[in-house]
Structure 1
Amino acid sequence: MDVLVLTHGTRGDVQPFIALALALTSAGHTVRLGAPAGSAALAKPYGIPFVPLADGPNELYGHPAVREVLETNYRGLRGKRLAMTVARMYRNKMDAVLDDMADAARAGADVIVHDIVLPGRQLGEWLGIPTVRACLQPFWVPTRAFPNPMHDLPLPVTWNRLTYLTTNIWYQILAGHTNRWRRNKLGLTRRGGYLDVLRMPGGGSTPLLQAFSAHLLAPPPDDYPSWVQTTGPWLLPAPPDWMPSTDLNDFLHSGAPVVYVGFGSMAGSDPGRTARMITEAVRSAGVRAVVGTGWGGIEASKNDQDILPVGDVPHDWLFEHVTAVVHHGGSGTTAAALAAGRPQVVCPFVLDQPFFARRVHELGAAPEPLPQRQLNATELARAIEMAVTDQSFSISAKRLAEWIRDEEGIDRAVRLIEDVARPTISRRSLRRPPSRTRPGTPCARRTPGP
């Protein structure tokens, strides 16, 4: 089975798809991974064929407007205006990404697996092959069980499904220009529903894999369509030849308890202030910290004996060696901390992060969330001290780790993708003329026009 995997975004968006590509390769399939060029170093240690896509919107993370909307979570009239400004910048940057995706797909595949925010369904329509969507957040599929995690207004339960219109509006603002790409690059006519992420252009649907733990959904939805499968998280193991630096190894095995602190691409408008707050909180809590500088650029001091700044360190290895994990509530970091069985302190910024923060707390693995807008050194120190000293958090975290392992998320995802691609592979085999095909010669595959 030939699989094209497409994703875009920061490390948290890309890493689960590297894990999927690795698992598909281990299952004997041929895989290409299309992802931002800047993330090539993440995939390289695993030997996965990498197709660089334009970095596109990733180039905007240092922009003042982007930092402000991430820090304020789009609140107020100014937040809404900034959101529209950022959306325009996003659309302009995505043009090159879309063209690179089409060029990657032109080589053909038996199935395309793509992040739901990317128009992979339209590539499937172009090539005449099946597609599988994947999402890392629970705000895409409407349910009566709970309101849209992006929706923070208190509304009656009967309105829960309606709140998911927020996601649809947000997506159409970001992706509304793809019809030009669909017409000019793919040569496809405009069809109803081409901007509806839950169905194929013209009608019908394709499988949707939710790559997070079903235990984070509460109450469990009983109204998801049959084509929605919550597999469990897709966790990426450390590269086989990876070794920690001497400084990191020494730091983890000497002195007071060590916590991990990292906010990924979320560091607010003043990364220096964030670093100073972390340092003060760590000292007040009587612990030491490995600080992930991340895309957000937390400016942690390299001269503080209680703080060790690090770049890209595999979370599955690192979290096993710390006492607690302090993070922003991104789906990937949340899953890695749950799988490691470590207590958490979650400081959510935007989108799905408040939802994950609340659920980890409700499941007993973390103190109450500390929203970024309320975050200060005193509250952060108190939460860290609770996570490190209150054994109830550790007990709950270990129980959750067992649940995560039992889900076998990545293996389940591979089986589901194989099921989707099997009819296409069978049809291709029937069309192959046995008497004219030499052994070892790849079969012809439909190649789209320019």
Structure 2
Amino acid sequence: MRVLILTHGTRGDVQPYVALALALHQAGHQPVLAAPAAMASLAEPYGLPFAPLHDGPNTLIDDPEIREAIETNYRGLRGKRVALQVMRRSKPLMARVLDDMAGAAEGGADLVVHAPGMPGQHFAEWLGVPAVPAALQPVWVPTGAFRNPMLPLPVPRALNRASYLPIKLMLRSFGGIADKLRAGRLGLPRRRGRHDILRRPDGRPATVLQAFSAHLLPAGLDYPAWVHTTGFWYLPAASGWSPPPELAAFLAGGDPPVYVGFGSMAGTDPARVGRVVAEAVRLAGVRAVLASGWGGMRIGDLPDTVFSLDQAPHDWLFPRMAAIVHHGGSGTTGAALAAGKPQVVCPFVADQPFWAARAHAAGVAPEPQPQRRLTAHGLAAAIRRAATDRTMARAAAETGERIRAEGGVHRAVELVEELL
């Protein structure tokens, strides 16, 4: 079976789909991963077929004004103005991304799996095959159990389902680009419901995969039967990967350290974040591994008790930590859960506050430490608790066992196979 996988975004948006492509390949299928050209290095170590896409809106991330607006959830009048600017500048970039996706689809497929933010249903319709939205966050399928995690304000429980409407409106904002592609390169007609990722062309519901764990969600879930919450999709370290000798020596040289990394969240002031983190680690009296990631922190001179690295496979590194401090992206949250280690979550925006709150509710993390209010003393206290609280350590270990038992990506492969 040839499976075309369409995704876009930064590392955290792409890596779970690499995990799916690898699992499909290992099951004897022929996956093709279409993702931003800058992310090719994620697929390369596994020998997976890769179709490079234009980097699209990713090219806007380094604009300081846009970065500030994104990381404050577009608060205030200035944020709303920048949001409109981002949307205006993103549209021609997205047109190039979709054109590249059409090129990838020309190779044919028996099935199209796509990130819900990418209108993969149009390419599946063109090919005459099923489209499977695969979500990394619980924001695409309405539920009465909790409000849309992307919504920064609380709403009455009775309005939980209605709070998912903005996501549908956001998808429609790029409808003109998709319609132009349909009418031109794809030669597809305008039809009712063509922009609804949750419906097939004949009106029946699409099979939806949710690449996270129901164990972390609130009680009272009411997802329909065609929505499958599989568990997180983990990408294992590439065969033959080994840690740098300096990292291995640091880990062997004392007590398990605390990991601190904020992934692709660049921060409007990475130097300030670096100073806060360095001081918090000192105040907490712990050894630490600091992952700078994609500009997440800028740190000067470090003591011998702190090791700095760009990145390392989470499935190798996290189990060797005493606790894990991160930004609350779904992928990092899932990796920390699977490692069975306590967490300190410092959310920036989007779904990150939701995962931070759920980790705290599960008893595997202290109260969230939002980055906009982050202080050295507050972070130090949270780190000390995460690294020493036996009750929290036990809860993290037990949760980790449940998370690992789900086998999320392998369950996803089974569901994809059932479709055909």
TM-score by length of 1: 0.90
Mapped partners of 2:220, 2:234: distance in 1:
22
**Residue in 1 that maps onto 2:371:** 372
Mapped partners of 1:228, 1:269: distance in 2:
37
**Residue in 1 that maps onto 2:227:** 228
Mapped partners of 1:261, 1:174: distance in 2:
36
Shift of 1:17: 0.6
Deviations 1:27-73 (A, max 9, x none): 11111111111111111111111111111111221111331123212
Deviations 1:387-446 (A, max 9, x none): 0011111111101111112212111100100111x2xxxxxxxxxxxxxxxxxxxxxxxx
Deviations 1:218-253 (A, max 9, x none): 11412x222111000101110111000011111222
Structure-to-structure mapping, 1:111-122, within 5 angstroms = 111-122=111-122
Deviations 1:282-307 (A, max 9, x none): 11111122122122342233654233
Residues 1:210 and 2:210 aligned together: yes
**Residue in 2 that maps onto 1:308:** 307
Deviations 1:332-391 (A, max 9, x none): 000000000010000111111111110110000000011122111111111111100111
Task: Please provide the CA RMSD for this pair.
Answer: 1.5
Deviations 1:237-286 (A, max 9, x none): 10111000011111222235411111111132111111111111111111
Shift of 1:202: 6.3
Residues 1:339 and 2:338 aligned together: yes
Mapped partners of 1:141, 1:87: distance in 2:
23
Contact 2:360–2:368 (Cα < 8 Å) also in 1: yes
Mapped partners of 1:371, 1:166: distance in 2:
24
Between 343-352 and 51-60, report the one with greater CA deviation.
Answer: 51-60
Number of residue pairs the alignment of both structures matches: 420
**Residue in 2 that maps onto 1:15:** 15
Deviations 1:67-92 (A, max 9, x none): 11232122222222211111222222
Mapped partners of 2:229, 2:98: distance in 1:
27
Structure-to-structure mapping, 1:240-251, within 5 angstroms = 240-251=239-250
Change (3 A) 1:302 1:175: farther
Change (3 A) 1:361 1:31: same
Structure-to-structure mapping, 1:7-406, within 5 angstroms = 7-174=7-174, 176-201=176-201, 203-222=203-222, 224-301=223-300, 303-406=302-405
Q: Which amino acid aligns with 1:366?
A: A
Q: Which has the larger radius of gyration?
A: 1
Contact 1:212–1:230 (Cα < 8 Å) also in 2: yes
Shift of 1:187: 1.6
Contact 1:192–1:202 (Cα < 8 Å) also in 2: no
Between 375-384 and 325-334, report the one with greater CA deviation.
Answer: 375-384
Contact 1:272–1:299 (Cα < 8 Å) also in 2: yes
Change (3 A) 1:121 1:261: same
Structure 2 SS opposite 1:209:
strand
Mapped partners of 1:291, 1:10: distance in 2:
20
Structure 2 SS opposite 1:274:
helix
Between 230-239 and 143-152, report the one with greater CA deviation.
Answer: 143-152
Shift of 1:139: 1.0
Shift of 1:201: 4.8
Q: Which amino acid aligns with 1:37?
A: A
Contact 1:211–1:232 (Cα < 8 Å) also in 2: yes
Contact 1:216–1:359 (Cα < 8 Å) also in 2: yes
Mapped partners of 2:7, 2:221: distance in 1:
27
Mapped partners of 2:256, 2:107: distance in 1:
51
Contact 1:214–1:220 (Cα < 8 Å) also in 2: no
Mapped partners of 2:191, 2:161: distance in 1:
25
Structure 1 SS opposite 2:117:
coil
Contact 1:301–1:309 (Cα < 8 Å) also in 2: no
State the 4+ residue runs in structure 1 displaced beyond 6 angstroms. none
Q: Which amino acid aligns with 2:319?
A: E
Contact 2:112–2:131 (Cα < 8 Å) also in 1: yes
